[in-house]
Amino acid sequence: MTRVADLLVDLLRAEGVRSVFGVAGDSLNAVTDSLRPRDDIRWVHMRHEEAAAFAAGAVAQLTGRLGACAGSCGPGNLHLINGLYDAHRSRAPVLAIAAQVPSPEIGSEYFQETHPEEVFRECSHFRGVVSSPEMLEPVTREAIRVAKAEHGVAVVVLPGDIAERSVVPGPAPRSPPTLAPPSADPAPSGPELDRLVELLNGARKVTILAGGGCRDARDEVLALAARLRAPIVHTLRAKEFLEHDNPYDVGMTGLIGFSSGYHAMGDADLLVLLGTDFPYRQFYPATVRKVQVDRDARHLGRRTPVDLGVVADVGSTVRAALPRLTPKADSGHLTQSMAHYGQSRRALDELAVGETGSVPLHPQFVARVLDELAPDDAIFTCDVGLPTVWAARYLRLGGRRRLVGSFWHGSMANALPQAIGAQRAFPDRRVISLSGDGGLSMLLGELLTLRQVDLPVKIVVFDNRSLGFVQLEQKSAGFLESGVDLVNPNFAELASSAGLLGLRAERPEEVRPMLGEMLAHPGPALLDAVVARQEIVMPPTIEPSMVKGFGLWLIKAILSGRGDEIVDLAKVNLFR
């Protein structure tokens, strides 16, 4: 006979799960006991369940395999919810084990009783309750199937007493640990393709906005750009597979982009949206015609009106259209967009400098040096806010480099737990967390996890003593700053007390040697980079409602002696 918990672990292992992230609790005792003696699948003890869900989501995003996390009954599994939201919105297949109170007590308002099947409804595709030992296998198999097929979260609710009972297992699992492709028509229908070709051939200036749905269609997107002489604007999710070695790339748009991407879209007479649900409506040009290709029909026209919406795979659609497209002889739009991109790129790079003895550090300089020193197969994670800005603008992701963040859910404190998941999945690669001081502080206990489970994650803390992006938003809207100041410890000393290598850089000449030392260290390490408190990050266009707040801020900055820097940054973000 086999315990229910043993069968659960066997099912997970058969699906390629190598780590189950969580915090132990009495209702999870049977599960953690089943994991304890095994080498082929390990329990990873975190300090907070939210971090466990972030870690599982990172594993799924980076490997394509099912990620797994667990929480004990009541408060334990409730703590999973934020990380599960992030995984679900990132389309990461994750199975969450939500332990439950003893089965005879369910419905009696028992101590710590909640109803996970209801709590997780909005952030999962499937929630199954195991109400008897015999139900464990069918419920878990269905959860795994749905998580993989729908590319999202599935929850198995397992009472602690049932996990300890015996069960007769069915046949050994045979399903491979791979993801099912998303369900959608692989290629457009005849009339849709005809109309798409007509619009592409009829446009004089075409710009492509490419998103995460182009992951497996890089060659096709570049071939389309070559045929149409079209600049490519990429979203943040598309950065790692479209930006590098791309002669048509003109950067990003949006709140963390810069002007070349924004204007390449606005100057076109046809904007082609490929595999993207880019959410910021104010950055779409209002008068430009648009076509959109996406596997998910719900995305078509959701953010901006489109003249043609095609429910299809990006790669298949482009391959079908290319032979019918007339090569464009006029490269004026592409040439102008590329020149604008070069100007914007140079201006941003000019901000990423550090003169010996100057303080405070510019965070752009820290990010640029990190990019230079990190190995070609590094995996980066970044906290929401300013660390995401520096990652988007200064990390080069060509080759095997990867970038993971909370790009859809937008949660704080994601970078360190996602780095833990990444390091568990890829023990031989450098995993580097670009952490904000606010984000690191929120799940600070995971520093202890690094030492406890012996993971050599490297952390760069952008220590500006504030919630920097919140401060930016308040200023841009004309509000007085409220609740953004942080009284920070010396993070290097704090890391050292936890058993990590702790370093602290306050001057530019310290950055390169300390980053080098951190990256070479065999164990976990942290660099506390004390950076400028106020570093201006302006979107590539400013709405009228934003002018008052930015104007007051600019005046204060100029009076404080930062006028040259303001002018340089304004050129990057505002002007063509």
Does residue 545 contact residue 477 with C-beta atoms inside 8 Å?
yes
49: annotated active-site residue: yes
3-state secondary structure of 159: strand
Position 355 confidence tier, pLDDT thresholds 50, 70, 90: confident
Digit-coded pLDDT (tens) for 309-342? 999 999 999 999 999 999 999 999 999 999 999 9
469 is catalytic: yes
Share of the chain above pLDDT 70, in %: 87
User: Is 466 or 434 the better-scoring residue by pLDDT?
Assistant: 434
What confidence category does residue 533 fall into, taking pLDDT thresholds of 50, 70 and 90? confident
Instruction: Among 344-348, 464-468, 509-513, 566-570, name the one with the lowest average pLDDT.
Output: 566-570
pLDDT of residue 67: 98
The two structure tokens encoding residue 332: 């004026």
Give 538's pLDDT tier (boundaries 50, 70, 90): low
Q: Annotated catalytic, 310?
A: no
- Active site annotation includes 461: no
Over residues 216-230, the pLDDT tens digits come to 999 999 999 999 999
Q: How far apart are CA 163 and CA 130, in angstroms?
A: 9
Catalytically annotated residue among 109, 111, 118, 487: 111
Would you state the pLDDT for residue 504?
A: 98
Residue 47 carries which DSSP code? S
Which pLDDT value is given to residue 174? 56
pLDDT at 149 over 80: yes
pLDDT number for residue 567: 40
Compare 352 and 551 and report the one with higher pLDDT.
352
- Position 537 pLDDT exceeds 90: no
* Active-site option among 20, 31, 59, 112: 112
Higher model confidence: residue 125 or residue 568?
125
Cβ(462)–Cβ(529) below 8 Å: yes
**Within a 10 A sphere around the Cβ of 332, how many other Cβ atoms?**
11
Residue among 380, 469, 491, 550 flagged as catalytic: 469
pLDDT of residue 545: 40
Q: Which amino acid is at 2?
A: T
Quick count: other Cβ atoms within 10 Å of Cβ 198?
Answer: 12
Average pLDDT rounded to a whole number, residues 115-123: 97
Report pLDDT for 394.
95
Active site residue 572: no
Task: Show the tokens assigned to 13.
Answer: 């292992």
From the candidates 59, 155, 384, 511, which is the catalytic residue?
A: 384
Q: Which of 9, 15, 23, 49 is catalytic?
A: 49
Domains of the chain plus CATH, in order, are 2-167 (3.40.50.970), 190-335 (3.40.50.1220), 352-535 (3.40.50.970)
The torsion region of residue 202 among left (phi > 0), alpha (psi -120 to 50) and beta comes to alpha
Task: Report the pLDDT value the prediction gives residue 541, as an integer from 0 to 100.
Answer: 47
For residue 405, the model assigns a pLDDT of 96
pLDDT of residue 185: 54
